[in-house]
Amino acid sequence: MTITAAADGSALGNPGPAGWAWYIDDDRWAAGGWAHGTNNMGELMAVLDLFRATAHLPEEELHILCDSQYVINSVTKWMPGWKKKGWKKSDGKPVLNLELLKDIDAAITGRKYRFEWVKGHAGHELNEAADDRARAAATAYQAGKEPDAGPGLDGVQGAVERTAHHEVPAPDGHDSMIYEDLEAPVPAEPVPVEPAPADPAAQLAADVQMVFELETELLSPAVRGDLTEVMAFLHPEFQEISRDGSLTDRATIIAAFNAAEPLPTGGALQVLAATPWGLDKVQLAYRLLAGDQAVLCSSFWQRVEGRWLLRYRQETPTA
Task: Render pLDDT for 255-311 as a digit per residue (tens, 0 to 9).
Answer: 988 888 777 766 777 888 888 888 899 999 999 887 777 889 999 999 887 778 999
Are β-strands 281-290 and 293-304 bridged in parallel, bridged antiparallel, or unpaired?
Answer: antiparallel
**Domain residue ranges in the chain:** 2-175, 200-317
Res 183 pLDDT > 70: no
Q: Which of 8, 103, 128, 315 is catalytic?
A: 8
Q: Which of 16, 32, 37, 67 is catalytic?
A: 67
- Label residue 287 exposed, middle or buried (CB < 10 Å: 0-12, 13-18, 19+): middle
Task: Kindly report, residue by residue over 60-115, the tens digit of the pLDDT.
Answer: 999 999 988 888 888 988 888 888 888 887 667 778 888 999 999 999 999 999 99
pTM of the predicted model, to two decimals? 0.56
8 is a catalytic site residue? yes
Q: How many helices (H) and strands (E) does the chain have?
A: 10, 11
How far apart are alpha carbons 89 and 175 in whole angstroms?
14
Task: Calculate mean pLDDT across residues 35-57.
Answer: 93
Nearest alpha-carbon partner for 243 in 295, 291, 283:
295
Res 182 pLDDT > 50: no
Q: How many CA atoms lie within 13 A of 259 on its CB side?
A: 9
155 is a catalytic site residue? no
9 is a catalytic site residue? yes
Hey, what CATH topology would domain 200-317 get?
Answer: Nuclear Transport Factor 2; Chain: A, (3.10.450)
Same fold yes or no, 2-175 and 200-317: no
Determine what percent of the chain is predicted with pLDDT higher than 90. Answer: 41
Average predicted confidence (pLDDT) for the chain: 81
- Whether CATH 3.40.50.970 fits 2-175: no
49 is a catalytic site residue? no
Nearest alpha-carbon partner for 22 in 48, 61, 55:
48
How far apart are alpha carbons 184 and 256 in whole angstroms?
26
Task: Kindly report, residue by residue over 163-173, the tens digit of the pLDDT.
Answer: 433 334 443 43
Nearest alpha-carbon partner for 180 in 48, 303, 2:
303
CA 300 from centre of chain: 20
How far apart are alpha carbons 91 and 123 in whole angstroms?
39
How far apart are alpha carbons 196 and 183 in whole angstroms?
25
**Band of pLDDT at residue 236, cut at 50, 70 and 90:** very high
Give the CA distances from residue 81 to residues 77, 84, 254, in Å, rounded to whole numbers and listed in that order. Answer: 8, 5, 18
pLDDT (0 to 100) of residue 155: 62
Q: Which of 121, 128, 150, 213 is catalytic?
A: 121
pLDDT (0 to 100) of residue 171: 38
Q: Are 284 and 306 in contact (CB under 8 A)?
A: no
Q: Which of 19, 33, 42, 43 is catalytic?
A: 43
Q: Which of 49, 103, 131, 315 is catalytic?
A: 131
Task: Kindly report, residue by residue over 120-151, the tens digit of the pLDDT.
Answer: 777 899 999 999 999 999 999 999 999 999 99
Q: Could you give phi then psi for residue 258, rounded to 5 degrees?
A: -65, -30
